[in-house]
Structure 1
Amino acid sequence: MFRSFDKAARASTPQWRRIAGIAAMACASLWLAGCAGVRTIDSDVQSYSTLQQVPAPPTYRLQLLPSQVALGPQFDTVVQQAEASLAGVGLRRDDSQGSVIAQIDVQARYIPDSWLLPGSPYNPYGGFGWGPGWGWGWRGGMVWRDTGPSLHYRAVQLTLRDVQTQQVVYETSARYEDVWVDDQVIYRILFDSALNGFPKPPQGPRRVSTTLGAPASAQPASTPAAAAAASNPATPAAKPK
């Protein structure tokens, strides 16, 4: 009887291996599908414009601050993203005969997530507590938990100033907060979102959503801040500095 049982066990082993292999391949396929899937990037945008049409000629002179020039190649990537977005709305860089002066700025930092807020399971005391026990004395328990995920904050600001009057004719900013970040991708999306609706964008705060991995014909979609607040928790709009 024991010998026949061993034979049955050995016979079933390859079958379990095949099942385990199929399950592993299925998990890998799901993981790859998730990586290759689309991703929606939400940008909080504020725009103000006095322009009625695209400046004529449609050229701009880029004016960088000394601190930005000092960053060298590190800031050159940001400049390239801004130039590409400006070209997307019909503006071409011409530092000698630009009809408007363009100034850009970016910010990048980590921000604390909700794990710091009272009541969150990730707050510093969320995993620590004492409780009464039966009988004499008291009993307590202590559990350590990991902190919550870090959020990445990225923001861009762009202003256009009339070269003749030196008056600001276009002011816009966009910001992004999420756990996922790829600076080269995010900064381009932020500049595109900040220029959404140029030269006559909706005034004030709004949300612009961009889908990564969507067909090339897909364009960023903007929604008024009020509509965004109806389907998403209200978030402060970016403020130019």
Structure 2
Amino acid sequence: MNIAPRSSTAMVVVLAGSVLLLGGCASTWRVDNRVESHARWSESDQPQVAPPKAPQTYRFERLPSESEGEAAQRQAVIESMARDELARVGWSLAEGEMTPALWKVQVSASGQRVARAGLDDPWPHVPAYPYGWPYVWPAFNLGVGGHGGRVTGHLGFSGPLFWAPVFPYPYSGKPYVLRKVSVVVRDAANGRVVYETQAAHDGVWNDSPELWRAMFSAALRDFPSPPSTVRRVDVDLPR
């Protein structure tokens, strides 16, 4: 009885499974974002003007519709995400009414669910045999000829073969969600917008705090001196 080869094979299978398991645990989920940012820290159109140096203080600014009920709770959540990202560059939230704040920050987040992705096949998927019945697209042909003083003719019926579905087969694609976050910074003294940025991401992923946090991280990448071009910013999250 040859036991050693079987034991070796079993060990290889176990080790391979462990490697796959560890690889799955270490895998990441990439949130790709289309980011567009604009900065104008001076009242004049002089791009060489340097942005204010950290530390800086600010207050959040809300619309009237974001000040009560569930809307206020939702706004507090996304403001906390933006606050964490601004803290990374030395901007802190002013605590209390007596703390001076030179800037006002307004944040927003929105999502729109659509039936399918823009590049998905818009036609229903038709099942193949044996889930359908064969049918023939009819085609008739008529011929007349002569042979030995006799007139002959024929009538034919033919056509290509297709499969017709027995029952409707609806589109089975996953719902697709278009998401966008934005951050607007204003001068507290005169309300002038000095910085605006937005990040857009779309996909089949369900809503989660990590997803929205990654989008705010992408939107505030390179703050307060962003490049002038639209760019892609990827944020990797652990699965």
The two structures share one fold, judged by TM-score above 0.5: yes
- The TM-score range, normalised by the shorter chain, is 0.5 to 0.7
Instruction: Tell me the SS of whatever aligns to 1:189.
Output: helix
**Larger strand proportion of the pair:** 2
The two structures, once aligned, show a CA RMSD in angstroms of 3.6
Unpaired runs of at least 5, structure 2: 1-5, 42-49, 129-133, 139-156
Write out aligned runs for 1:71-150 (5 A).
71=70, 72-94=72-94, 96=97, 97-114=100-117, 120=121, 123-127=122-126, 132=136, 140-143=162-165, 144=169, 146-150=171-175
Which of these two proteins has the greater Rg computed from alpha carbons? 2
Moved more, 67-76 or 24-33: 24-33
2:230 equivalent among 205, 219, 230 = 205
For 2:212 and 2:22, how far apart are their aligned partners in 1? 25
Asked if structure 2 preserves the Cα contact closer than 8 Å seen for 1:55 and 1:99, the reply is no
Give the % identical residues. Answer: 27
**Larger helix proportion of the pair:** 1
TM-score between the two structures when normalised by the length of structure 2: 0.66
For 2:19 and 2:137, how far apart are their aligned partners in 1? 49
Write out aligned runs for 1:213-232 (5 A).
213=238
TM superposition shift of 1:79: 1.7
Unpaired runs of at least 5, structure 1: 1-14, 215-241
TM-score between the two structures when normalised by the length of structure 1: 0.66
**Paired residue for 2:56?**
58
Moved more, 38-47 or 123-132: 123-132
Are positions 1:152 and 2:177 aligned together?
Answer: yes
- Alignment length, in residue pairs? 196
Asked if structure 2 preserves the Cα contact closer than 8 Å seen for 1:57 and 1:99, the reply is no
Instruction: Tell me the SS of whatever aligns to 2:230.
Output: strand
Structure 1 residues 103 and 115: CA distance shift in structure 2, 3 A:
closer
**Paired residue for 1:34?**
24
Are positions 1:166 and 2:191 aligned together?
Answer: yes
For 2:201 and 2:18, how far apart are their aligned partners in 1? 30
Higher relative contact order (CA 8 A, sep 6+): 2
